[in-house]
Amino acid sequence: MILLRVPEKQKFDDALFSARMALADGNNSQIRTQLLKASRHAVSSSHWQSILKTALEAIPENPAVDDYKLFTVLAGRSTSAIPGAGQFSAYWIWGLLKSGDIEKAKKYIELAGGNWRLLTAEVNLRTAVGSSDEDVQSFIDQLERKSDPEFLSQAATLTQSAELTFDAALLYMLNGNPGKAYSLSETILNDERLWSDESTISRNSVHTALAIIAFDNGSEDIAIDRLQQGIEDSDRRRTTTWESLQFSGDLYWDRYLLQGRIKDLNEAGEKWKKAIQIVLSNPVGMSLTDSEGGVQNEDLPADSWRLWINLAVQQAVSGDKRESRKTLTRALILFPDKNEVKAAWARNQSEDEPALARRLIRNSQLNSPVLGITQIDIDPEAVTPRLYEARLWELFNAVMADDTVQEADRRILTTFLLNYMSSRRNFSSVDVAVDRYLKVFPDEKWILSWRLAADASRGLALLNLVPDSSDGSSSYEDFRELALREHSWRALHDSALFAVMA
């Protein structure tokens, strides 16, 4: 039996074959003639795919605008021939874009549908900054030079770039605007932006940064979930850092303190234990040897001592005081010169071995505010609030007069004193401490927030002390209602701290 081919298909095949032969010969005129002829006989999506593939291959290596016109005409015909097929509409929009017809591309971009977000972003970008490659390059140069989060945010919206969105969110955080930072981070969390390189997420610790932004905005549950997602991702690649685990443990601990869920208490402990394992197994800059007394080290990561302190507290709260003591003893061996570790160990021993605890503190450097506070706390003579307060003032005055005390340690003591006075609602003493501190360190404005908080607690009289910013927004806007409704000086203190440091 003789099979007869459908005439239209034969015409299409012949024209497409001739176009492919012309492409091989470099005969542009014949390519155009034969592809246009093939388009008149195309009856299916596969026909149009073959036509457009050939037209795309015919575009030279360094094309001019006119070199895209044949492809654009054919893509336009395919859009009309196969209505509702978003891919052919996208091909046509791309052709219009490359041919320089930006207005038409913008007009019909909706035909491409939601699966072509990068194409939509490029159309929006070229509509906003200019159609030429030079215009786009100029825009990119501005991105590299500018550190304005508003500009980056607008650029991110134009380009749908997750990288730019992430950068803008971080800049908003640095500029003291956590609300806008979180708003941008949500677009990333909801997958509304596209990553040009997925490895950026792990390489730049994006999950951790987004968790910090969420936490600072008060969205602790989202922060925990985002950080956990990052940890699971890094676990698969065996690149999990002890810092991310420490932060995760801190978040679970904070939620436990707020909600009292044992699951969060246990999660905090597990995260800190895993972080400690990473710290101790990290060979970089570290020399660990087992000895009769435990483990000794030459160079553990900076601030990793906090893991042992946190874990010991978690173990004590869980009722495992024996393990808590063992953890602190191990920390004391690993960090023999760290005053915070000495203080934690002494507090832990103060009930069962008070003499041993006091001896450790007494034999250490007493100009350390951390050890000074601990010495007062474990001193059996400081049993009355009046005597305790007097000892704190004595230590505060000594630290203010000692030039060798580090700024961080000085802040620890000052904040401790202010917190204690505030807890006893002794706000006149808060004023005295602030005045003495500013007399010695007049440029450290952070402490002014405590004065604002104290004044607020005495009647919320200074709600408008810090003037509105140039854009008309007030630093207190988010806290006024809460402070007035609940007479919460702590809420006003938080807003004041932001206002003073902004």
Choosing from 136, 155, 188, the residue where a domain stops is: 136
pLDDT, position 329: 93
> Does residue 346 lie within any of the structural domains?
no
Domain shared by 101 and 181, yes or no:
no
Cα separation, 213 vs 205, in Å, equals: 13
More confident residue, 50 or 110: 50
Rounded distance, CA 227 to CA 230, Å?
A: 5
Residue with tokens 């927030």: 449
Specify if 141 maps to a domain: no
What would the pLDDT profile of 415-443 be if each residue is shown by its tens digit? 888 888 887 878 788 888 888 888 888 88
**Domain contains 341:** no
The DSSP element (H or E) to which 456 belongs, if any, is helix 448-457
Check residue 501 and give its pLDDT: 42
Overall domain count for the chain:
5
From the centroid of its chain, how far is CA 257?
A: 23
Same domain, 364 and 415: yes
**Residue 472 — pLDDT band, cuts 50, 70, 90?**
low
Domain that holds residue 109: 7-136
Tokens of 63: 């094309």
Banded pLDDT at 494 (limits 50, 70, 90): low
pLDDT at 171: 85
Range from 225-229, 245-249, 287-291, 467-471 carrying the lowest mean pLDDT: 287-291
Do 101 and 158 belong to one domain? no
The confidence score (pLDDT) of residue 458 equals 52
Residue 292's pLDDT band (cuts 50, 70, 90): very low
Q: Which residue has the higher pLDDT, 201 or 65?
A: 65
Element housing 27 (H / E): none
**30 and 123 fall within a common domain:** yes
The reply to whether 159 falls in a domain is: yes
Range from 39-43, 100-104, 199-203, 473-477 that averages highest in pLDDT:
39-43
Higher pLDDT, 315 or 219: 315
341 close to 309: Cβ distance less than 8 angstroms: yes
Banded model confidence at residue 477, pLDDT cuts 50, 70, 90: low
Residue 127 sits in the same domain as residue 156: no
In a domain, 343, yes or no: no
pLDDT at 303: 85
* pLDDT greater at residue 132 or residue 26: 26
> 108 pLDDT exceeds 70?
yes
Q: Read off φ and ψ for residue 38, nearest 5 degrees.
A: -60, -35
Residue 286, phi then psi, degrees to nearest 5: -135, 140
Q: Which residue has the tokens 């299409």?
A: 12
Distance separating alpha carbons of residues 68 and 62, to the nearest angstrom: 11
Q: Which of 51, 21, 19, 45 is nearest to 32 (CA)?
A: 19
Instruction: Give the sign of the dihedral formed by CA 306, CA 310, CA 315, CA 317.
Output: positive
Determine the Cα–Cα distance for residues 47 and 432; give it in Å rounded to an integer: 85
Taking the C-alpha atoms of residue 247 and residue 57, their distance in angstroms, rounded to an integer, is 52
Considering Cα of 217, then 222, then 224, then 230, what sign does the dihedral take?
A: negative
Q: What is the mean pLDDT of residues 141-145?
A: 67
Of 43-57, 148-162, 466-480, the one with minimum mean pLDDT is 466-480
Residues 396 and 461 in one domain: no
Report residue 76: phi and psi, to 5°: -65, -40
Do 26 and 111 share a domain, yes or no? yes
Q: Higher confidence at residue 199 or residue 153?
A: 153
Distances (CA, A) of 275 to 64, 282, 307, 415, 443: 57, 11, 7, 29, 38
Q: Would you say residue 106 lies in a domain?
A: yes
Report if residue 225 sits inside a domain.
yes
Residue 114 or 462, more confident:
114
Stretch among 141-150, 356-365, 426-435 having the lowest mean pLDDT: 141-150
Q: What is the structure's pLDDT at 479?
A: 53
Which helix (H) or strand (E) is 444 found in, with range? none
Could you tell me the pLDDT band of residue 307, with boundaries at 50, 70 and 90? very high
The verdict on 228 and 276 lying in the same domain is no
On the question of pLDDT at 60 being above 90, the answer is: no
pLDDT band at 140 (very low <50, low <70, confident <90, very high): low
pLDDT at residue 96 in the model: 84
* Two structure tokens written together for 154: 């607008």
User: E strands within 190-321?
Assistant: 289-291, 294-296
Higher pLDDT, 221 or 111: 221
In a domain, 290, yes or no: no
Q: Among 256-260, 301-305, 475-479, whose mean pLDDT is lowest?
A: 475-479
| In the predicted structure, residue 265 carries a pLDDT above the cut 90 | yes
Task: Please report the pLDDT score of residue 471 as a whole number.
Answer: 55
- As a dihedral over the C-alpha atoms of residue 430, residue 433, residue 437, residue 442, rounded to 10 degrees, the angle is 50
Question: DSSP assignment of 97-156, as one string?
Answer: HHTT-HHHHHHHGGGG-TT-HHHHHHHHHHHHH-SSHHHHHHHHHHHHH---HHHHHHHH
Provide DSSP, 354-367. HHHHHHHHHTS-TT
Helix (H, G, I), strand (E, B) or coil at 294: strand
pLDDT per residue over 113-125, tens digit each? 667 777 777 777 7
Helices and strands, number each (H, E), in the chain: 27, 2
**pLDDT band with cut points at 50, 70 and 90 for residue 488:** low
pLDDT above 70 (res 374): yes
pLDDT beyond 50 at 129: yes
Of 237 and 21, the structure prediction assigns the larger pLDDT to 21
Q: Within this chain, do residues 28 and 67 fall inside the same structural domain, yes or no? A: yes
Same domain, 77 and 104: yes
- Selection from 97-101, 117-121, 297-301 with the highest mean pLDDT: 97-101
Number of C-alpha atoms within 13 angstroms, CB side, residue 463? 14
Domain end (from 136, 170, 186): 136
**Is the pLDDT at 309 greater than 90, yes or no?**
yes
Nearest-5° Cα angle at 496, 171 to 480: 100
Cα–Cα dist 60/27, whole Å: 12
- First CA to last CA across the chain, in angstroms? 88
| pLDDT greater than 60 at residue 283 | no
Q: Do residues 449 and 439 share a domain?
A: no
Mean pLDDT of 116-145: 69
- Quote the tokens at residue 314: 């978690």
Domain boundary among 136, 165, 195: 136
CATH number of the structural domain spanning residue 81: 1.25.40.10
The residues, ordered by sequence, that sit 6+ positions from 255 with a Cβ below 8 Å of its Cβ are 220, 221, 224, 261, 264
384 and 500 inside one domain: no
Q: With pLDDT > 70 as the criterion, what percentage of the chain qualifies?
A: 78
What DSSP assignment string belongs to 372-421?
A: HHHHHHH-TT--SHHHHHHHHHHHHHHHHT-TTS-HHHHHHHHHHHHHHH
